[in-house]
Structures are given as structure tokens and as C-alpha cells.
Amino acid sequence: MAGSIQKRGDNVWLVRVYMGLNSEGKRKYHNKTIHGNKKDAEKYLNSVLRERDLGTFVEPTNKTVRAYLEEWLEQAAKKRVSERTYQDYRGLLERYVYPVIGEHKLSKLKPLDIQKLINDMHDKGITRTTQYTVTVLKQALKQAVKWQLIPRNPAELVEIPRKKAIIDDDEDGNMRVLTKEEAIWFKEAASSDPYYALFMLMLTTGVRPGEAYALKWDEVDLENGRIFIKTSLYRTKDGWKLKEPKTAGSRRNITIPPEMINILKEHKEKQEERKKKKAESYKDYGFVFTADNGEPITHRNLVKRHFKPILELAGLPPIRIYDLRHTCATLLLLAGISPKVVAERLGHASVNMTLNRYSHVLPDMQQKASDALQEMLF
């Protein structure tokens, strides 16, 4: 008999469906208790029979979404992505996904559950991360289908809200740039800080924070005024690591202003003095910018102990260190520097990426172009 319905009490029914033979040649059955009338039980029986005959039936699992995603991270993701990407996945899930749908049963997870999660993130302005979350969930739940834990992927049915313009490749794309005057105020306020050279390098070159932290002295040519960006520094629970950039454009050499050369020379002299004082306790990895003991910079400490106090001293509104990169790009474009040159300086894959991310500068550039033609022709 393919399936049966047995009455187990008032409005309680046991649906039993023959599923074939297991690996040992024994009969397998799917059992499900239905609370409702007999029509409800018949409806469930027919749906299971249909899925069984189509080969799409999956025995419901008791795993929670959190438990499954943890298993996916360790058994699938960790085996095929880099350590940095693995840590990104974990951080994303722990910060945004687990608190909302982590305790849902995987077998009962609906597209609407994920849609609410995504909509809430989008409404909070977490634009780029919203799309990244959908991508990660699609990958993870696709694997759940392959492992026959769920019959279909609910993330495939989620609609991504109309995205806002992506500003840059940091976490959420919320950009705030300094004006020319504000950049000067920042420079003056930072001049007495131990990390003055670091902040000025980011402001004048547009390098990403991780690229600046990874910079080594053998990648700095003070004689010709150039730095060579080859790696980026990032941290995991196991410590710090260096990683090569994903695109060829991110590996680049950047010219630095003459005054920046002088700032770096002075910074190097102070670093050498610190090495002598620290002697054996100083760990020399060759980095240009370090903590007092030579270890790589910890981003959180740098922001709390140095960057934020400088902003307060300069009377500037709160911005992120990443916004020094945005400020550099904006000031260069406003100065009439070719977007192609700016794109190369930033390590963007294409000039279109630069123009899209700094579209707020375009009206001023168009006006300057119009003024230039006025002066040349009329």
C-alpha cells in the first residue's frame, strides 16, 4: 500500500507513506501526525505521494537554520573559499542572520522569512551587505538541497529591494567626504599624532586601510616618490594575515606628493628610534605602520585612540577611516584630474566604477568643462 491514514484521536491523524527500501533492503516509511480534519490528512498524503513519485520528497529535518549554516560553513564553505572569505561569511551570518532566523527550523524556512530579514536590512541602509546576505544564503541553501535536507531553495524566491547606489567596496557604502578646507583642518589636527604619516598617506593616495596597514618599507621608493600596493592586511580569529588583491588593478604603484616623502622619511626615523628603545621586545616584520611593539595595526584601536580624537580636535563630524579614500578621490576629480587616472590610483577595475561611485562630483566636472570651452572658443 502506497500510503495510509490512521485516526489517532479527535482531529488527530497519522499519515504513513511507503518510501521504498533502505540500503539494508528494509522498508522505509515516512510518518507525519496531522492535527485537523481528515481532508487535511488526505491533502498531506497526496502531496507526499506526488513528491515521492517525482523524486523531490525530502524527509523534514529538525535542524535549526543556525545549526545547518554552521555545518555548511565547516563542511562546504571552508573547503572552497579563502580564509578571509570564510571569516566574512561567518561574521555576516552571526551579525545579521542568526539573530533573526537562526532558531527557525530549516525545514520550515519560508521565502517570506528571508524576505523580511532582507527588507529590514535594506531599510536600515545596509545596502551592499543586504545583497551579499542574499548571495550567501542562496549558496548555503542550495547546498542544503543537494544534501537533501530541504526540497527547494527558499532564498531563490527572495526579491532584492531596489538598491541604492553603491558607493564603495566597504561594508555598507555610507560615504561622507571631507571638503578641501576640512581636509586641511584634519591634516593640521593630525600633525602631532603618532600616526600622522598613515593618515596622510591614505588621504593623499586613496589606498584602502588594509592596504596601508600591509605596506612594507621594501614597497616604498622614497627616492622616486612611489609606493607599491601588493597586499592587504586582514585579521581573523587566528591572528593577522596578508592577502594578495583579487584583481590585477589592485596591484599598483602610486606616486606620492613631495611633502608626503618628507613625512615618511621623518616617520621612518622615529620608527628606527623606537626599535632601538624596544630592542628585543620589538617585532620587526618590515611594516611601515605598526603598533608600538612592531605588530601590525589593529584597526579598532587606531580608530578609537587616534582617528576619532583627531576628528574631535579638528571640529569635524564623525567619518570613517575609509572616508579618507573617498575624500582623496573626490578632491582629485574636483581638481580636474582624469577619472582614468583616479581609477588607477584607487585600484578600481574600470573607470566606470569610479564614475558611478563618485557621481556626486560629475555636475562640477561638467561645469568646469563648459567653462573651459567658453574660454577657449569665445
264: domain CATH number is: 1.10.443.10
Alpha-carbon distance of 324 to 235, in angstroms, equals 21
Q: Are 105 and 243 in the same domain?
A: no
CA dihedral sign, ordered 245, 350, 353, 136? negative
- Whole-Å CA distances, 330 to 7, 17, 157, 307, 318: 73, 66, 39, 20, 18
Q: Are 41 and 31 in contact (CB under 8 A)?
A: no
Q: How far is CA 62 from the centre of its chain?
A: 31
Q: What domain count does the chain have? A: 3
105: domain CATH number is 1.10.150.130
Q: Are 198 and 186 in contact (CB under 8 A)?
A: no
Query: What percent of the chain stands above pLDDT 70?
Result: 92
Confirm whether 375 is domain-assigned. no
Pairing of strands 239-243, 232-236: antiparallel
Q: Which residue has the higher pLDDT, 122 or 269?
A: 269
Alpha-carbon distance of 299 to 332, in angstroms, equals 26
Q: Are 252 and 143 in the same domain?
A: no
Q: Which residue has the higher pLDDT, 256 or 80?
A: 256
**Sole residue written with cell 573651459:** 372
Choose the weakest-confidence range: 110-119, 169-178, 340-349, 352-361. Answer: 169-178
Mean pLDDT of 43-70: 78
pLDDT at 173: 52
Q: Are 220 and 152 in the same domain?
A: no
Q: Which residue has the higher pLDDT, 376 or 227?
A: 227
pLDDT at 186: 95
Buried b (16+ CB within 10 A) or exposed e, 17-26: beeeeeeeee
Alpha-carbon distance of 101 to 65, in angstroms, equals 7
Residue at which a domain ends, from 91, 124, 157: 157
Mean pLDDT of 249-274: 94
Q: Which residue has the higher pLDDT, 55 or 73?
A: 73
Q: Are 44 and 84 in the same domain?
A: no
Q: Are 238 and 101 in the same domain?
A: no
Distance linking the first and last C-alpha atoms of the chain: 94
pLDDT at 246: 63
Nearest to 251 by CA among 208, 199, 217: 208
Structural domain range at position 225? 180-370
In the chain, which residue ranges form alpha helices assigned H by DSSP? Answer: 38-54, 65-72, 78-80, 83-92, 98-101, 111-123, 127-146, 180-190, 196-205, 209-214, 258-278, 299-302, 308-314, 322-334, 339-346, 351-357, 362-377
Q: Are 187 and 96 in the same domain?
A: no
Q: Which residue has the higher pLDDT, 223 or 13?
A: 223
